[in-house]
Amino acid sequence: MKLIEMVELVQQHHPHMGETEIIKLLNRAKDDFCERTEIVKSTYTIQTVANQRYYPLNDVGGVTSELLKVREV
């Protein structure tokens, strides 16, 4: 289903809602769904350094991102 189709479907049931508000709510629902189902998974590879014990997880592989969960080491 395309975005415009989703907006039109919501407006059928909620005619008072504007397109911008619907898009923001749809994006929020998508983000929530992806976080709860862990559908988005990434794999990072980093180079280890001798005698270094700790590595920052917010800048892994040169990509700054928000870490949600460490699944496996």
Q: Provide the strand spans (E) within the chain.
A: 59-60, 63-64
Q: Higher pLDDT residue, 1 or 26?
A: 26
User: If pLDDT is split at 50, 70 and 90, which confidence band does 38 have?
Assistant: confident
pLDDT score recorded for residue 35: 80
> pTM for the complete prediction?
0.56
Average pLDDT over residues 42-67: 70
pLDDT over threshold 70, residue 32: yes
Q: 28-37: long-range contacts at Cβ-Cβ below 8 A with a sequence spacing of 24 or more? A: 35/68
